[in-house]
Structure formats: structure tokens, C-alpha cells
Amino acid sequence: MELLITRHVKFQDRRVWLNGIVEHVSEAGSADKLFRSVYRYYDIDYPKFFKMDNLCKLAFLSAEGLLRGTDILQEYPGGEVAIILENASSSLEYDQKHVESIRDQNRYFPSPSVFVYTIPNIMVAEIAIRHKVKGENAVFIFEQFDPGLIYDYVSELFRNQQVSCCLSGWVECYGDHYQSLLFIIEQEDKIKRCKGLQEYVIFDTANMEKLFKGKSL
Amino acid sequence: MIEDLILKLKQEIIDQLQLEGMTPEEMDPEAPLFGEEGLGLDSIDVLELVVLLDKNYGIKIRGPKEGPKIFYSIKTIAEYILNQQKN
Amino acid sequence: MLDVFVGTSNTITSIGFSTAEHVKRIKAGQIGISIYPGGDLWPTPVPLSLIDSQRLLDLFREHLSKGKPDLQLDSFTRSEMLHILSISDVLKNSGVDIRDSRTLIILSTLKGNMDLLKKDRLPAIEPDRVYLWKWGEFLGSFFNSSNKPLVVSNACASGLLATLIGSRLIKAGRYDHVIAAGGDILTEFAVSGFQSFQSLSPKPCKPFDADRDGLSLGEGCGAIVLSRDHSLCGIPEKIVLAGGSCTNDAHHISGPLRTGEMFYVAIRKALREASLDPLDIDYISAHGTGTESYDETEAKALSWAGLEKVPVNSFKGYFGHTLGAAGIIESAIAIASMRNNELFRSAGFENPGTSDRINILTDHISREVNHCLKTASGFGGCNVAAVFKKI
């Protein structure tokens, strides 16, 4: 049962890559401006996007870039699609925003729409809600992208038949430092669609590392 | 007087609920805020409206119980505020 | 098929600093939720479950003096003290070697060292330990662990999910032993946040009760040993984590999917992996927070799974909702129930309050418990179910 990375998206340094090819470049340097620019570029109509914190916006847009124009998820029951992500700063930006809202005893107004974003797994929820992904889900916190853990854990989920498709990778955003690498993992013998000119990559630690560093595979 | 309050509330709701791209002109003060016909607000939005009333008008309410009647429409919110301010 | 045994555990909440102490106090009906009069955590009175700070400091000071006398108390955060005590306790009572490369610590938390964000406090601690990976690294280095701890942050389902992840990594052959630990301290951060959701009850929480009106926050920390080698587990009984599943509602970022569908699916998949039918389950340790929506949803899911007659309790009526620790602490006490064949009354429950009736325990009873289902769910639509089985 060969596991393959069949599609991947990367957000870094004002650029968005799809399967290794730059598909969008934003003029502005800030995370806010890039995310707005990509939202428009992807031509999405999803008002809730503007209520998200930047970590969730990045996760949402990464998943959008990964899945738009494809029917990949339709090949699998929603309950068998997993989302397994890694991140470094958790929700630190909104943690600080929440702390600010309770700093002054005379202007003490904690906000539920801020507090809800003070846990990192909400980014999983935003992807799940948009794409009806209902299976296994987890967020692991690492200082840097750790492909070894993803390899061990996701392989086991497939081996034990708990999942038949997985969205996985790294989503990190704190201030204007943002970086994501999101990919789809499928079993070679279960892919229903025609491969066409698509380049599939073997799901292993070395290849994930190469994708992350932008090296050729 | 209620018209002024309604206009003020519209902008405050847009800001508090982060309703991107919404303008006060587009908002019908009598239309239901929740459900598919209205702005499609959800449970977190109710709680944000509770914060708005506290922050901007000094009125404290318990959202889930009292919320549905008060937050039915922008007009009912305005009426509630004026009522509270009278007492 | 590899068996993953569960072993000795430690639990720290308002009602004790060990699992044995928790069992004793729960048997005596002691409730650790009390009215916080108002202060740093929240300006007005609110029911909270707080760990005895003096006892914590005394125990930690004693712990340091025995093992690391050069270290100062003030170079540890509250969260770190709790985790060190908890993990040390299970290491002491098991044969697991934390320095072994085949051993992993998995840490579950929502907010780790969130008190570090108040910059005017805790000057002796590097501010970077507000990062969860750094907090985890610090804890790992205290124990000279061979591997950096793995940190999981999945809202209130984190603890049970961490335990499940641990068993999966052992089954994958990646590790032989896992210490699944987790904790969250009570902070103004958390209290104010849950207050903004209006989800805190003005009285001690009443899971599944008709008069329930919210949860009670508690601080807590716990640790459980998992191993493929029963002889290292520290308990004579052979209890395995036989199956588990995690699903997502894909519905709303903070409210549950009220049909209970994906919660039910998690339960069904856990049972299937454990090769058990609903009728085989002797006891359920529920998530049961005391909120209207989550309890209603959980009762629906249990009922849908055919488990409406199985004795069920929530421990949150005793020591509140301990967030990242909940799944660990509650699993530990549920396993103690299996070991002792005794089930405990669901504190705070008086009258059924969910549309689907489930069999809430209203007294402590003796009962043979061979198969136990543990559930958890949380913000972000995450549902987790795990089955513990005596073999």
C-alpha cells in the first residue's frame, strides 16, 4: 500500500506555490495583505473568512489552494479524511489580543470571537467546516516542521484503516511571519481519478523535507 | 431619535461582528439578524452583541436566555437600549 | 496485534495529588469546586476548582530537594511544577525509563504557561516558555528524556487524544512506552474567556442534570503510563487501550453538532477497533461538562450508539473541567474504577436533563468493570472515544 503525496501547496515570502509552481505573488509584505490578495485571487465568497484570526486564514487559504478545481475529497467519505497539522506558535497572536482585552479593569470586555481563536485546533475546524472533512484530526506543536512525526502517525492511521485520505503539513503564523506547507496523502491503489500530468511523490520524510525547503524532488 | 440610534448601531454591529464589505445602507433594521433570511449570524455573534451592549451602552444581559428577543433585529436592539436608558 | 497496556497514573486537582487520593475523596463525596470570592482570576464570585497552592509548593520543594537541590523554586512555572510532580510520580511507580530512546512523553494542554503573558510576573523564567514547544522541551530536559516531548493541543479533547496518539505510536512500532501527561492551570485568561462565552455556571456544575447551566473550570494535571510491556506498567491488572477514534463535526468552531452524529461515529469506531458491541461496555466515563449543548449532544451520541443503559458518570462535578488535563485525569480515575470494580456517583446530577435518557450513576456501586468507554469533545468540533479493556 504505497502512500503518495498527490498535491501540495505552500505559502511563504509573499508567494503561493501549487505543486511547486508559483501561482500567486502578493506585492505587499504583510500577512493581512497577502491573505486578502489570495482570497480575491481564489475568488472565494465566504464571509466568515473575515472573522478568522490570521492562523486560521492561512490554514483556510492553504486548504483552498490545495483543493480548488479538484474533486479529490469527493472520492472519499468525509469521515475517512483526516487533518493532521503541525504548528509552532499556537494561537499566540490572539492570546495577546485576548490579554489586551482584559488588561484594563475599567475597559474589561473579553470577546468570544477573540477567545475562540486562542486554541490552535480551530484552524482544523475552519478547514473541516469548509470542506466537510470529518475524520481524525490533531494539532502538534513543534519548534520547526517535523516530517518524521507526520510520517509515523499518518502511516499508522492508514495502516490501521482509520483514514483513507489525509490533509497534512505545517501551518504557522505569528505577526507577519507566516509559512505553510499543506499536502494531500492518498493510497496509490485507491485513487480513482486519472493521473494525467500530475506529479505524485512518495510520502516519506525525505520528500516532505524537500517540499518544505523548496528543493527539487 | 430611534433612527439615529439605529444608524449608530448598524456601524457598531458591522465593526463588532467583523461584517466585511457590509454597509449600513444594505442593512434593513427590521429584518431578522439570525437565520438564513437575515445576516446569517450565529451563536458567537449573539455573544458579541452582548459585549457590544455592555461596552458601548453599559447594558449587561445573559445572551442565551434573553438574547433571542432582544437581538431579533436591529430595531428591537435599539428599542431595548432606549427602554433600558429610560429606566 | 500488539497490545498497549495502561499502567499507573497520577492525578492532581483540587481534591488530591494522586489517583488513590482522588478515589478516596470521590468515595467520600468530596467536591473540590468552591466559590472563588473574586480576585485576580475574576472580579466577582464564581465557582472554580483550584489546586492547593501551598501543598503544591511544599511537595515541589521537597521533590527538588531530593533530586535537584541546586534548582530554585522560582525558576519553575505553576504548570511546570504540576507536570514535573505528575510525571515523576508515574515514573517512580512504574518501570519505565524516561531516558530510553524508546520512551516518549506526550503532553496535552490548551494554554501551557499562559500566565507568562502577564509580563510583570515571573521574572526568573525565560519568556520563550510561553511557546508550547519550549514548555515541552523544558519539561523533557528536566527528566533528561531521550526524546523531546510531543505536544498536542486539541482543545478539551487533548488529554484523551494524547492518550490515544500514544497508543497508536506504540502500535506503529515507533516507541515502546509513552507517558501521556497533560495539564492546565487556572488563569484570568481562561476564566474571562469562558465568561465571554457565558458558559460558566454561577453554581458548581451539574453534568447532564435538568438544571445544568454551565461548566465549572478547574485546574489539573495528570499522567498515565502506556507500554507494550505490562511488567513495566506498575499495576498488576492487565488493562489495554483496545480501541479509539477521533472525529470532527465539521459544523461550527465552538458549538457541537447537536445531532451527535460525529460523536456517535467516534464511539462506534472505537468499539469496532476494540472488537466490542455496545452491550459489552460495563461503564462509561463521559465528558459531561454541565453545559446545555455539549451534554445534550453527548447523551444523543451515547444513545445512538446503543449505550443508553450503561452506567455513566462525569467526574467534572467533583473537580471541574480541567481542560487539557481532563481526558488524562478522568481516564486515570476510570481505570481505577476498573481495577477496583467500583463505580462512582456522577456528582451534581439529580434529575435527568437530556432529551435522550442515559443511565447516570446516582450512587456509588460495586460492579465488575471489564470494558470501559471514555469520551471527550471540545471546541473545534473534535470528538474522541477510547475503550479500555481488561484482558
Q: Kindly report which listed range (A176-190, B25-39, C376-390) carries the lowest average pLDDT score.
A: B25-39
Closest to B42 (Cα-Cα) out of A191, A156, C260, C197: C197
Please check whether residues C190 and C284 belong to one and the same domain: no
Nearest residue, CB atoms, A136 vs list C111, C155, C246: C246
Task: Go through C158-188 and write b for each residue having 16 or more CB atoms within 10 A of its CB, e for each that does not.
Answer: bbbbbbbbbbbbbbbebbbbbbbbbbbbbbb
Name the fold adopted by A3-213: Peroxisomal Thiolase; Chain A, domain 1 (3.40.47)
The mean of the pLDDT values for chain B is 90
Task: Name the grid cell of C196.
Answer: 465571554
Please check whether residues C214 and C267 belong to one and the same domain: no
> Distance between CA C369 and CA C360 in Å, rounded?
16
Kindly report the nearest CA distance between residue A106 and chain B, in angstroms: 10
Residues of chain C positioned with their CB less than 8 A from the CB of B43: 252, 254-255
**Which of 18-77 (B) contact A at CB < 8 A?**
18-21, 40, 44-45, 47-48, 51, 54-55
Residue C96 has pLDDT above 80, yes or no: yes
> Distance between CA C266 and CA C248 in Å, rounded?
9
pLDDT-based confidence at residue B62 (cuts at 50, 70, 90)? confident
Q: What is the pLDDT of residue C309?
A: 98
Domain assignment of residue B11, given as a range: 2-86
How big is the A-C interface in CB pairs under 8 Å? 159
Element (H, E) at B60: none
The pLDDT tens digits for A108-162 are: 999 999 999 999 999 999 999 999 999 999 999 999 999 999 999 999 999 999 9
Please check whether residues C225 and C279 belong to one and the same domain: no
Residues of chain B positioned with their CB less than 8 A from the CB of C292: 64
Please check whether residues C178 and C265 belong to one and the same domain: no
pLDDT-based confidence at residue C122 (cuts at 50, 70, 90)? low
Q: What is the pLDDT of residue C121?
A: 57
Q: What is the pLDDT of residue C119?
A: 59
- CB atoms B19 and A47 under 8 Å: yes
Please check whether residues C220 and C346 belong to one and the same domain: no
Closest residue in C to B61 (Cα) is: C198
Q: What is the pLDDT of residue B64?
A: 65
The set of chains that have 3 or more CB pairs under 8 A with B is A, C
Percent of chain C with pLDDT over 90: 96
Please check whether residues C169 and C314 belong to one and the same domain: no
A81-87 and C46-49 strand pairing: unpaired
The mean of the pLDDT values for chain C is 97
Rounded average pLDDT over C189-196:
97
Nearest residue, CB atoms, C196 vs list B42, B51, B64: B51
Nearest residue, CB atoms, A111 vs list B19, B40, B48: B48
Residues of chain C positioned with their CB less than 8 A from the CB of A79: 247, 262, 265
Please check whether residues C93 and C115 belong to one and the same domain: yes
CATH number for the domain harbouring residue C374: 3.40.47.10
pLDDT-based confidence at residue A196 (cuts at 50, 70, 90)? confident
C254 at interface of B, judged by CB pairs closer than 8 A: yes
Q: What is the pLDDT of residue A197?
A: 75
Q: Where are the domains of chain A?
A: 3-213
Phi-psi region of A16 (alpha: psi -120 to 50; beta: other; left: phi over 0): beta
Residues of chain B positioned with their CB less than 8 A from the CB of A107: 55
Task: Name the grid cell of C13.
Answer: 486537582
Nearest residue, CB atoms, C250 vs list A89, A129, A143: A129
The set of chains that have 3 or more CB pairs under 8 A with C is A, B
Rounded average pLDDT over A11-38:
93
**Strand, coil or helix: C255:** coil
- Compute CA distances C329 → C100, C210, C346, whole Å: 25, 26, 15
Residue C383: beta bridge partners? C247, C377
Please check whether residues C69 and C205 belong to one and the same domain: yes
The set of chains that have 3 or more CB pairs under 8 A with A is B, C
> Which of the listed residues C186, C208, C232 is the one where a domain comes to its end?
C232
pLDDT-based confidence at residue A5 (cuts at 50, 70, 90)? very high
Other beta carbons less than 10 A from residue C242's beta carbon: 23
Residues of chain A positioned with their CB less than 8 A from the CB of B55: 107, 109
Closest residue in C to B48 (Cα) is: C196
The pLDDT tens digits for C5-41 are: 999 999 999 999 999 999 999 999 999 999 999 999 9
Domain assignment of residue C225, given as a range: 5-232
- CB atoms B44 and C253 under 8 Å: yes
Residues of chain B positioned with their CB less than 8 A from the CB of A97: none
CATH number for the domain harbouring residue B47: 1.10.1200.10
> Which of the listed residues C232, C256, C282 is the one where a domain comes to its end?
C232
Interface test with B, best of C192, C194, C196, C198 (most B CBs within 10 A): C198
Please check whether residues C220 and C272 belong to one and the same domain: no
pLDDT-based confidence at residue B35 (cuts at 50, 70, 90)? confident
A111 at interface of B, judged by CB pairs closer than 8 A: yes
Q: What are phi and psi of C282, to 5 degrees?
A: -95, -25
Looking at residue A135, the DSSP 8-state letter turns out to be S
- CB atoms A162 and C245 under 8 Å: yes
Q: What is the pLDDT of residue A28?
A: 75
Q: What is the pLDDT of residue C140?
A: 98
> Distance between CA C314 and CA C290 in Å, rounded?
9
Nearest residue, CB atoms, C248 vs list A128, A149, A159: A128
Q: What are phi and psi of C109, to 5 degrees?
A: -160, 155
Please check whether residues C209 and C312 belong to one and the same domain: no
Nearest residue, CB atoms, B51 vs list A47, A50, A109: A109
> Distance between CA C158 and CA C180 in Å, rounded?
11
Residue C183: beta bridge partners? C221
pLDDT-based confidence at residue C120 (cuts at 50, 70, 90)? low
Kindly report the nearest CA distance between residue B67 and chain A, in angstroms: 15
C197 at interface of B, judged by CB pairs closer than 8 A: yes
For residue C7, count CB atoms less than 10 angstroms from its CB and return exposed for 0-12, middle for 13-18, buried for 19 or more.
buried
How big is the B-C interface in CB pairs under 8 Å? 16
Whether the model clears a pTM of 0.90, i.e. scores above it, the answer is yes
Number of structural domains in chain B? 1
Task: Name the grid cell of C179.
Answer: 507517558
> Which of the listed residues C232, C250, C276 is the one where a domain comes to its end?
C232
Q: Kindly report which listed range (A3-12, A23-32, B60-69) carries the lowest average pLDDT score.
A: B60-69
Nearest residue, CB atoms, C252 vs list B42, B50, B63: B42
Number of structural domains in chain C? 2
**Which of 65-124 (A) contact C at CB < 8 A?**
78-79, 83, 88-90, 92, 95-96, 98-99, 101-102, 105, 108, 110-112, 115-116, 118-122, 124
pLDDT-based confidence at residue C117 (cuts at 50, 70, 90)? confident
pLDDT-based confidence at residue B63 (cuts at 50, 70, 90)? low
C259 at interface of A, judged by CB pairs closer than 8 A: no
Residue A178: beta bridge partners? A173
The pLDDT tens digits for C253-292 are: 999 999 999 999 999 999 999 999 999 999 999 999 999 9
The pLDDT tens digits for C162-176 are: 999 999 999 999 999
- CB atoms C152 and A124 under 8 Å: no
> Distance between CA C197 and CA C14 in Å, rounded?
24
